């Protein structure tokens, strides 16, 4: 798990433990299999509900309009169709939606995940765009809420923006 606000990274023995930590203990019963989790409508609803994020959203100018609450903004998967290992990106506010102004960004994906992402699912009103090279350069994939296959950027993404 990586907190995009602080840059802190942590590893967990199970997906259930990672999800509990990513939500500050609000979700403790997530499936232990990350592929099953992305298909679990109950979990998806919890991750996208205001209760999962303490209702925290950002206003028009980007200022926070609620109490900060850590929760997943996306789950990245090493393989297509949400398969393989997973990486949870965690943020402390909801995204403002698909715009030209990113809410979060990672200039270079951490070791072990750089050029390894095969699919993703975003939460908390976030859409994300992947870029081929660090610093949001090279080829890119347009903002989307989820992708089961990254096409030409499969195993080639090095930086991310969430909006």
User: Domain spans of the chain?
Assistant: 2-162
Query: Mean pLDDT across the stretch 110-115?
Result: 92
Tell me what pLDDT residue 40 has.
94
Tell me what pLDDT residue 53 has.
47
Residue 154 above 90 pLDDT?
yes
* Each residue's pLDDT tens digit, 17-67: 999 999 999 999 999 999 899 899 999 999 987 644 444 444 333 444 444
Cα dist from 133 to 1, 29, 153, 155, 157, whole Å: 21, 36, 10, 12, 7
The fold adopted by the segment(s) 2-162 is Gamma-B Crystallin; domain 1 (2.60.20)
Q: Do 85 and 104 contact (CB within 8 A), yes or no? A: no
CA dist., res. 163 & res. 160, Å (int): 10
pLDDT interval class at 119 (50, 70, 90): very high
Tell me what pLDDT residue 65 has.
44
């Amino acid at each position: 798990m990586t907190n995009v606000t602080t840059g802190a990274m942590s590893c967990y023995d199970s997906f259930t433990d990672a999800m509990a930590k990513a939500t500050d203990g609000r979700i403790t019963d997530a499936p232990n299999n990350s592929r099953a989790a992305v298909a679990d409508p109950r979990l998806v609803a919890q991750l996208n509900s205001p209760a999962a994020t303490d209702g925290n959203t950002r206003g028009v100018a980007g200022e926070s309009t609620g109490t900060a609450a850590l929760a997943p903004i996306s789950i990245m998967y090493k393989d297509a169709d949400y398969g393989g290992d997973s990486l949870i990106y965690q943020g402390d506010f909801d995204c403002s939606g698909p715009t030209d102004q990113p809410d979060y960004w990672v200039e270079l994906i951490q070791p072990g995940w750089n050029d390894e992402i095969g699919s993703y699912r975003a939460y908390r009103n976030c859409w994300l765009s992947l870029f081929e090279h660090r610093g949001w350069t090279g080829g890119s994939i347009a903002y989307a809420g989820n992708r089961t296959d990254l096409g030409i950027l499969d195993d080639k993404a090095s930086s991310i923006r969430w909006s």
